[in-house]
Structure 1
Amino acid sequence: MEFVTLTANEFDDFTKRNFSHYTQSKTHYDYRNENQHDVHLVGVKENGAVVAACLLTEARSLKFFKYFYTHRGPILDFNNLNLVDFFFKNLTAYLKHRNCLYVLADPYILENIRTATGEIIESKDNRAVVQLLEDLGYQYQGLTVGYSQTSQIRWLSVLNLEGKSEDTLLKEMDYQTRRNIKKTYEMNVQVRTLPIEDTDQFFELFKMAEEKHGFTFRDQDYFEKMQKTYGDQAFLKLAYIDLNELLTIQQRKIDELTQNLNEVLGDLEENPNSKKSKTKRQQLEQQLNSKQKKQKETATLIESDGPVLNLAAAFYIYNNHEVYYLSSGSNPKYNAYMGAYRLQWEMIKFAKEHGIDRYNFYGITGDFSEDAEDFGVQKFKEGFNAHVEEYVGDFVKPIKPFFYKIYQFLNKHR
């Protein structure tokens, strides 16, 4: 085996053929290499063939040193302990020559598959690889719960699409989720892709989510940079509704109900004692009153808020293996139009159309109690029939142990 620097094309070919995270992509590499000059492609070859690959980025640390991060890498067969051992030993040597203070590795290794409520369905035995990495000086950060500001989320909510039709996927969702998606069609909710110039429309809705949940995550520049970094693999989607079109749809339904009611009233004139016709008249009158009330509400909303409402927006990235739902926001004033549900369904269909078998709803805390800070988010994702995947977590390797202790001390006393 040989530890090598990979070309962008070698890396691209390997990541497309082997399951990997969106951060491990040629698109990511090309942008950072051109604009930030802080990215490395390394790997292992055996008999001329690539058997391991990893995109690494660097950042300044303690002014004089560099911190390296593996971005859900490396990509390799972690059951092949000889390969794991060879890669990480050689990675240490590589980093020592690049003034590295420490490296953070968070390999895309599955620890447990769970139900949406946290019950373990299947466990993976990672003890051997964890022990090997610890023997190589990698400090295991453990099975953490909650969100982190310094590393990728360890708990993901994932919907398996493989071998399932759209009808099957809908049938496997819970009743309310399926009903909410259906209602978006009845209300003519639409979805479009926002150009990068309209990122502010997404960010306005995203800020509403931050205010609702009481957190501050990213600024608008971050989302613009992410779109530039991942190019055609990343986009913002906006769910919106044209209320003038909705008025037309509502009027069409009112006309239909009125016609049906007139027919029933005609039947009652001929047969005033018909119990069936009386019941039908009552049902149609209730439906007609409801539709007329909704139409008035729509007309009033046009006067106060304008004819087009931005309901919800989300940021997505995809690769050959997964579609990732990463960030979103919505206007709570317009929750009745179910924009968030339509967004998810449109992107699930997008995954199916592109032959992608995993729809990744992305992070949850791993706290499955009703007191969890993301309990509502978990229930939303559960409604689509998503399961939970728990990953092995982070490993930190001090390359310069003495200075790394100084770094830890300074961080602790800030």
Structure 2
Amino acid sequence: MKFCELTPEEYENHVNHHFSHYTQSVTHYNYKKNNNEPVYLVGVKEGEQVLAACLLTSARALKFFSYFYSHRGPVMDYTNAALVDLFYSELTKYLKVRKGLFVLVDPHILMNYRDHEGELMQHFKVEDFISHLTQLGYRHKGFTVGYSMDSQARWLSVLDIENKDEAQLLKAMDYQTRRNIKKTLEMGVKLRDLSIEETETFYRLFKMAEDKHGFSFRKYDYFVRMQETYGDKCRLVLSYIDLDEYLDRLKNEQQQMQQEFAASSKELAENPGFRKLKNKHNEQDKKLQVLAKKIKEIESLRASDGAILELASALYIHNNHELYYLSSGSNPKYNQFMGPYNMMWQMIQYAQSLNLKKYNFYGVSGDFTEKSPDLGVVKFKKGFNAVVEEYIGDFEKPLRPLFYKIYKRMKR
């Protein structure tokens, strides 16, 4: 076995055939390379066979040095102790030559499966790997809870879609989630792709989510760059409803119901003592009143807000393994149309069409208490029958200890 740089072709072949994160993609590498940003493809080979592959990026630190980041890499068999030892030992030498100050790695190692109450479902032995990296000079940054701008999410909500058809997926969802999806289809909620020139439409809805939850995550340029980076592996989508079409549906339903009501009125006049028929007639009358009220509300909304309502929008990226639901926003004024439910269901179907293994709802905080800042988000994702994947977390290794201490002191 030898540590070496990989060609884009060698690298792509390996990550496509071994389960990996979307950031470990040759698409990511090509974008960085084309924009003259520092990026490296390294790994371990045995003869012509690639055993480990890793995309690394770097940024300036302390003017003369750089720090390096592995983006959920390397992609390799982490249970192979000899391979782990060779990769991380040789990586240190490789980065020191390139004036590395320190390296941050976040191996794509699953530690636990949990339900959305935080209860442990399955544990994977990771203690030996943590001990091994500690011996190699890496400090584990802990089993963190919450979100950080400095690293990838450690807790992910993920739906397994492999070898499951639509009926199976729907049946496994919570009743309310399944019902909400059905209602969006009945109302005629739709989904379309936004072009990169329409990113402002997404960003407007995204800002509504930031305002609602009281956080600030990413600026507009970030979402443009993500689309430029991942190209056809990326979709920016908009959930919307055409109120003219919805009103047509409601009025057609009203007309049909009025005909049924007229028929039952006639039947009741002929059989006034028939209690079952009277109950049916009263129920029809109530439904007609509710429907008339709904039509009036939608007509009023149409007059004030226009025919097309933008309900929700989201940024998705996929690789050969998963579809990732990364960032989103919705207009709370239009919650009655449940745009996010329709968007999720249509994108789950899209993931199936790509023959992917998982639909990744992406990050949750890892706080499962009633005081959790993302309690509503957790419950929403739970409704689709997702499970929580808890990853091992970040490791950091100083490559120049003295200057690293100075850097950390300055950061504080």
State the Cα distance separating 1:62 from its structure 2 match. Answer: 1.1
- Is there any run of 5+ residues in structure 1 with no aligned partner, and where? none
Alignment length (residue pairs): 412
- Is there any run of 5+ residues in structure 2 with no aligned partner, and where? none
Q: Percent identity?
A: 54
TM-score (norm 1): 0.99
Letter in 2 for 1:75: V
TM-score (norm 2): 0.99
State the Cα distance separating 1:304 from its structure 2 match. Answer: 0.5
State the match for 2:288 in structure 1: 288
Which piece of structure 1 moves more, 263-272 or 203-212? Answer: 263-272
State the match for 2:250 in structure 1: 250
State the match for 2:112 in structure 1: 112
Letter in 2 for 1:281: H
Which piece of structure 1 moves more, 261-270 or 89-98? Answer: 261-270
Letter in 2 for 1:354: L
Q: Deviations over 1:76-135 (max 9, x none)?
A: 000001000000011011001101100100010001111111111111111111111111
Aligned equivalents of 2:331, 2:292: Cα separation in 1: 25
State the Cα distance separating 1:22 from its structure 2 match. Answer: 0.1
Which piece of structure 1 moves more, 14-23 or 124-133? Answer: 124-133
Q: Deviations over 1:191-245 (max 9, x none)?
A: 0010000000000000000000001111111000000001111111100000000
Aligned equivalents of 2:357, 2:189: Cα separation in 1: 26
State the Cα distance separating 1:400 from its structure 2 match. Answer: 0.8
Q: Deviations over 1:136-162 (max 9, x none)?
A: 101111111111121111000011112
1:150 match: secondary structure: coil
Q: 5 Å matches for 1:260-275?
A: 260-275=260-275
State the match for 2:36 in structure 1: 36
The answer on 1:161 being equivalent to 2:126 is: no
State the match for 1:307 in structure 2: 307
Aligned equivalents of 1:377, 1:38: Cα separation in 2: 36
Aligned equivalents of 1:374, 1:298: Cα separation in 2: 31
Aligned equivalents of 1:142, 1:220: Cα separation in 2: 31
Q: Kindly report structure 1 stretches of 4+ aligned residues shifted beyond 2 Å.
A: none
Q: 5 Å matches for 1:323-338?
A: 323-338=323-338
Q: Deviations over 1:366-409 (max 9, x none)?
A: 11100011111100000111110100000001111110000111
State the match for 2:193 in structure 1: 193
Aligned equivalents of 1:304, 1:37: Cα separation in 2: 48
Aligned equivalents of 1:36, 1:297: Cα separation in 2: 55
Aligned equivalents of 1:37, 1:119: Cα separation in 2: 42
Q: Deviations over 1:260-292 (max 9, x none)?
A: 111101111221211121111111111111111
Q: 5 Å matches for 1:353-364?
A: 353-364=353-364
State the Cα distance separating 1:36 from its structure 2 match. Answer: 3.2
State the Cα distance separating 1:47 from its structure 2 match. Answer: 2.2
Aligned equivalents of 1:48, 1:356: Cα separation in 2: 28
Letter in 1 for 2:169: L
Aligned equivalents of 1:256, 1:59: Cα separation in 2: 66
Q: Deviations over 1:336-364 (max 9, x none)?
A: 00001111101111111111120110101
State the match for 1:73 in structure 2: 73
Letter in 1 for 2:308: V
State the Cα distance separating 1:48 from its structure 2 match. Answer: 1.5
Q: 5 Å matches for 1:135-284?
A: 135-284=135-284
2:249 match: secondary structure: helix
1:317 match: secondary structure: strand
State the match for 2:94 in structure 1: 94
Aligned equivalents of 1:111, 1:62: Cα separation in 2: 34
Q: Deviations over 1:2-28 (max 9, x none)?
A: 111111111111010000000000111
2:76 match: secondary structure: coil
Letter in 1 for 2:38: D
RMSD: 0.7
Aligned equivalents of 1:48, 1:310: Cα separation in 2: 52
